[in-house]
C-alpha cells in the first residue's frame, strides 16, 4: 500500500514498530488478536488494527502539501478535514479557514470566495451542489480534493446500479458530511433515500410491502429522500450502499433484511433476486471492517476496562465505543489530557452528546488489564501518549523506558 508523507508529530515510534511487526507476521491480515504490552502491574492490549486509514493519511498529505505550495494565498477547507480535533487545530494554526461546520452551517459565505482562493475538499467528499458552486466561482475542485477513494467507490457503485434503474438506499447518519455527499451523488442519478439504522429499514420495508399508506412515507422519512421520490414506483428495485464508517455488521444486516423484504414481496426465487435487489457488499470500507473486527478480537481478552481514542464527532470511533460498551466499562476520550489522574477520567457519552467525569475508573488490582483502540482519524502519537500516561501511574520513568525499548 502507498506510503504517505504526513507530519512526524502524528507518528509514533512505538506504534509504528508494533504495527510493522504485526504486518510482517500476518501478511494476509487473518490474525485479529491484540498485541499485549506487558508492563507488569498494568497490561495493555492494543487492537490489531486502529488509527489512521488510507483515506485519512491521503487527506492529511494533500492538505499539508497544499499549504506548503500556496503560501500567501487564502486556503479554505469545506469543513473539518477529518473528525480529529488535533489535526484540525494544526490546520487552523497554519492559517486554513473552515467554510462550514460539520453540520453544513456556513461559517464563511461562498460569495466572498474568488477564483484565486484555494479550497480543499475533505476526506468525506462533498455534494454535487457545492461542487457546482465552487466551479462557478472558478475554483478547481479536482486539484485539492482529498475525498477518500473508498467513499468514491461507494459513489461509483451507486452510479452503476442507478444505470440499471435501482433506487439507492444509503445506510448512514443523515447529518454526517459523508452521508450528505453520498446522498447527493446518488440522487443525481437515481431516486435515493437514507436509513439511519435497522429500525428505519424495518419502517421502510412496511412501505415496500404496502403495509403502511403511501402518504405516511413523506413524514416518516422527512428530509431523507430525493426530490420527486415516489415510494410506489421507486421502491420496486433497490440497492443498499453505506456511509463507510458505519457498523459494517449493521449495514449488512440492513441489506439482508431489505433483500428478504423484496423476496417476500415479489415471491422471488434465488436466481431472480437480482431483478429487485442489487448486490452491493463490495462498498464496505476495508478499514472500517478491519478496525471493527479487531475490536471483536480485542474483546476476547479478559480485561477490566477499555479506552477508545478519537474525535467526539467521529462516526467510526463511536461505533468502536459501541462494540466495547457491550462487554466492558468503556471510556471515550479525544486527548490524553482527559485522563486527569490515576483515578479520574473525563470522557464522552456519545449517546447523549455530553462529557462525563468518572472516578475510580481504574480498579485497584494487580495486574490491571486495559484494552485500547482508536478511530481511523486518530494519530498514533496520541495513542502512545495515552499508553505513556497510564504506564506512568505504575512504573518509574526508568523502568518504563526499558520496557518500552523492548517493544521497539
| Dihedrals phi, psi of 330, to nearest 5 degrees | -130, 135
Separation in Å, CA 121 to CA 2, 183, 286, 316 = 21, 17, 22, 20
CB-based contact 126:145 (threshold 8 Å):
no
Enumerate residues 6+ apart whose C-beta is below 8 A from 317: 83, 308, 309, 310, 311, 332, 374, 375, 376, 377, 378
**Set 57, 131, 178, 200: catalytic member:** 178
Q: How far apart are CA 372 and CA 234, in angstroms?
A: 44
**87 near 60, Cβ under 8 Å?**
yes
The residue written with cell numbers 433476486 in the block is: 273
Task: Verify whether residue 397 is a known catalytic residue.
Answer: no
Which grid cell is 234?
421507486
Q: How many other CB atoms are found less than 10 A from the CB of residue 220?
A: 16
- What one-character-per-residue DSSP string does 17-49 give? HHHHHHHHH-TT----PPEEEE-SSEEEEE-SS
Q: Which residues are catalytic?
A: 178
Amino acid at each position: 500500500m502507498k506510503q504517505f508523507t504526513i507530519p512526524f508529530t502524528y507518528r509514533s515510534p512505538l506504534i509504528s514498530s508494533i504495527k510493522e511487526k504485526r504486518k510482517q507476521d500476518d501478511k494476509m491480515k487473518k490474525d485479529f488478536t491484540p498485541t499485549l504490552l506487558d508492563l507488569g502491574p498494568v497490561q495493555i492490549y492494543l487492537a490489531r488494527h486502529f488509527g489512521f486509514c488510507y483515506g485519512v493519511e491521503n487527506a492529511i498529505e494533500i492538505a499539508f502539501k497544499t499549504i506548503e505550495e500556496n503560501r500567501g494565498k487564502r486556503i479554505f477547507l469545506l469543513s473539518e478535514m477529518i473528525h480529529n480535533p488535533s489535526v484540525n487545530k494544526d490546520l487552523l494554526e497554519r492559517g486554513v479557514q473552515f467554510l462550514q461546520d460539520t453540520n453544513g452551517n456556513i461559517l464563511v459565505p461562498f460569495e466572498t470566495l474568488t477564483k484565486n482562493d484555494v479550497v480543499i475538499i475533505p476526506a468525506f467528499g462533498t455534494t454535487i451542489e457545492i461542487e457546482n458552486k465552487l466551479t462557478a466561482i472558478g475554483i478547481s475542485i479536482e486539484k485539492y480534493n482529498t475525498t477518500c477513494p473508498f467513499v468514491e467507490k461507494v459513489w461509483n457503485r451507486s452510479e452503476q446500479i442507478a444505470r440499471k434503474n435501482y433506487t439507492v438506499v444509503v445506510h448512514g447518519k443523515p447529518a454526517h458530511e459523508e452521508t450528505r455527499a453520498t446522498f447527493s451523488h446518488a440522487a443525481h442519478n437515481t431516486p435515493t433515500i437514507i436509513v439511519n439504522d435497522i429500525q428505519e429499514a424495518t419502517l421502510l420495508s412496511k412501505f415496500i410491502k404496502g403495509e403502511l399508506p403511501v402518504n405516511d412515507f413523506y413524514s416518516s422519512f422527512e428530509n431523507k429522500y430525493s426530490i420527486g421520490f415516489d415510494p410506489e414506483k421507486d421502491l420496486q428495485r433497490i440497492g443498499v450502499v453505506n456511509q463507510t464508517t458505519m457498523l459494517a455488521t449493521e449495514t449488512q444486516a440492513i441489506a439482508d433484511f431489505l433483500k428478504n423484504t423484496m423476496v417476500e414481496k415479489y415471491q422471488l426465487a434465488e436466481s431472480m433476486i437480482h431483478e429487485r435487489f442489487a448486490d452491493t457488499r463490495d462498498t464496505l470500507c476495508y478499514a472500517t471492517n478491519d478496525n471493527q473486527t479487531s475490536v471483536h478480537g480485542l474483546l476476547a481478552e479478559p480485561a477490566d476496562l477499555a479506552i477508545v481514542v478519537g474525535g467526539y464527532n467521529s462516526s467510526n470511533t463511536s461505533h468502536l465505543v459501541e462494540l466495547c460498551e457491550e462487554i466492558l466499562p468503556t471510556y471515550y476520550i479525544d486527548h490524553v489530557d482527559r485522563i486527569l489522574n490515576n483515578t479520574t477520567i473525563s470522557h464522552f457519552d456519545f449517546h447523549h452528546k455530553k462529557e462525563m467525569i468518572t472516578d475510580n475508573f481504574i480498579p485497584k488490582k494487580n495486574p490491571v488489564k486495559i484494552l485500547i483502540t482508536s478511530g481511523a482519524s486518530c494519530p498514533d502519537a496520541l495513542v502512545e501518549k495515552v499508553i505513556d500516561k497510564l504506564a506512568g501511574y505504575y512504573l518509574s520513568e526508568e523502568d518504563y523506558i526499558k520496557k518500552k525499548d523492548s517493544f521497539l
